[in-house]
Every structure is written in structure tokens, then in C-alpha cells.
Homo-oligomer: A and B are copies of this chain.
Amino acid sequence: MSIKTFVEQSLGCWRSQRSGHNLAFQHFEEVRSTIQITAVSPDDAGVAALCQTHGFEPELAIAPFHMAWEGESDWDEDEKIAGSCLLVPIVTGASTGKLLRSQGYAETIPAVGEYHFTEEGMFVLLTRYDRAAAEERIWFGTDNLRFRVSLIRTSDGQGVVTASFASEIRTEMPAK
């Protein structure tokens, strides 16, 4: 699996059903959301800016994309969860690379993750933050069904604080 193919297979509009597990308290969270993944031109000014922030040449950017989400959690049904970010992959090897993000999941600052693909084609992303580390696995069940397991670890990598699982069904193919 290449990051280019993986991003291409991920484009479009997805309906996501996500369960969060708070491991210490055995609490469940249920989130329903819509995720829109759109290709971004490598020549986009935002891509160049994000590359420069992290000290990479913009020419190294492969298949950058934009992600926007909007959803509702059963923990707070009045509040809309919404956000968006620009993601820029930088290839470093046959199945490895870095993923630059204009905004991280666990903290609201720009983040750089390290990704690799397993032999099964599963995308694995590790992102270190100041006080936490995120570990994400994404794989396809069918062409229009993605699964995503996200763990938030303590920054020393030892404990896992929360785990979540999302089933994502593609409801719209990308616009041509």
C-alpha cells in the first residue's frame, strides 16, 4: 500500500460511528459524525506553509488532503463537534513517512506523526504530543468501509488512557 493509494481510497464523504472507551472508568462515548476528505493540490499555499513550519521542502509533499468533520456526542448532545485540518504526507521510505497536520487530535497545535503501512495494508500513525501520544490504525473492510482504532497513551508510552473505534461508511464518492 502506498500513501497515494491510501489517500485516493479515502476521498469522499464518510458517515462515521465512533465509540470511545474511557479505560479507567469503563465509560462509553458514542459519536455520530460526517467526515469529508478532499484532495488538495500540492501547489496549494497552505501545503507549502505547513511544510515550512516543520522544515520540509514543499516538493516532498505527496497527496495532501483536507479533512472536515461535524458530529454529535451522546455526552453532550447540544454541542456540535466540528473541525477541519490540512494533512500533508511526506514519504520517507517504501511504506513509511511523516504526516504533517495543521491541527492534532489530542491538542490544538500543529503536529507531525510518523506513519507506516503493515504488510496487510493497515495504516499505522504515531504522533507524540507534549503530554500524550496518539496511536492510530486505519484499514479498509471493503472499498467503502473504513475502520479506525485510536489510542491515547500517556507521554511515556506506558499507559493507555482512552481507546476509540470508528466504523466509517462512504456515502459519497469524491467529486471529479
A residues lining the B interface (CB < 8 Å): 15, 17, 19, 21, 23, 26, 28, 30, 32, 118-120, 122, 124, 141-142, 145, 147, 149, 151, 158-160, 163, 165, 167, 169
Contact = CB atoms under 8 A, between A and B. Distances in A.
B169 A142 contact: no
Given A163-B147, A165-B149, A26 B19 contact: no
Q: A119, A120, A122 — which one has the most chain B CB atoms within 10 A of its CB?
A: A120
Q: How many copies does the complex hold?
A: 2
Contacts of A26: 15, 17, 32
Contact of A30 (B28, B32, B163): B28
A94 B13 CA distance: 41
B17 A23 contact: yes
Contacts of A21: 17, 19, 165, 167
Contacts of A118: 118-120, 122
B17 A169 contact: no
Contact of A23 (B119, B122, B145, B149): B145
B163 A141 contact: yes
A149 B147 contact: yes
A145 B149 CA distance: 14
A142 B159 contact: yes
Query: When A and B form their complex, which 9 residue pairs have the shortest distance between CB atoms, in order from nearest?
Result: A165-B165, A19-B19, A21-B167, A28-B30, A163-B167, A141-B160, A17-B21, A17-B26, A119-B119
Given A19-B28, A23-B167, 5 more contacts: A120-B124, A141-B163, A142-B159, A147-B149, A149-B149
A149 B148 CA distance: 10
